[in-house]
Amino acid sequence: MEGTLGLFVFIILAVSMVVFSVLAITTQRILRAATYLLFVLIGTAGIYFQLNYSFLGTVQLLVYAGGITVLYVFSILLTSSKEEKVEKLKTSKFLAGFITTLAGAALCLFFVMKNEFHLSQFAHGEHDMQEIGLSLMGSGKYQYILPFEVMSLLLLACIIGGILIARKDKT
């Protein structure tokens, strides 16, 4: 029963993520696209929680679904007019994007079908919190302090740029 329920929850999350992803790229209102992106990121956190990766799920909710989406909405509201819409795509660009999407999906499907995934290869649950913290915030070979710092500077530059663009329009 538990395996069937887990599969059902996964299917619901996966289908909702696909639907909201398609809605995010097809909507003509940019604020709605950011809202649909929020739902995709929440679905990703749901899959992390389903895999018993509570730390990754929490980080996904706090950093991405919370922080990054708020930053996007903040930037959109500062830089766009009230009823701004995205330009309509030309048919040639739409077809090029559609063909590229199909090629990418076929490539992903090929690699998934070609490889055998054994359950013994996957460790269930998560590592010790101290180990996760040291691997994320350490300064060794495979530790990630530098990318975090670079991303924080990039986000700070985006916020300052959004404020400057919003100020230019008002003066």
Query: What does the block give as tokens for 109?
Result: 């499907």
Give CA angle at 20 (125, 54), nearest 5°: 15
Give the whole-angstrom CA distance, residue 79 versus residue 73.
Answer: 10
pTM of the model: 0.64
Q: What is the CATH number of domain 1-84?
A: 1.20.120.1200
From first to last of its 171 residues, the chain has per-residue pLDDT tens of: 467 888 899 999 999 999 999 999 888 888 888 889 999 999 999 999 988 888 888 888 888 888 878 877 777 777 666 665 667 778 888 889 889 989 999 998 998 888 877 655 556 666 677 777 777 676 677 676 667 777 778 888 887 887 777 766 555
Contact 125, 37 (CB under 8 A): no
Name the amino acid, one letter, at 89.
L
Q: Domain locations in the chain?
A: 1-84, 90-115, 128-171
Q: Which among 28, 27, 37, 31 has a CA at the least distance from the CA of 74? A: 31
In the 8-state DSSP scheme, what is residue 151?
H
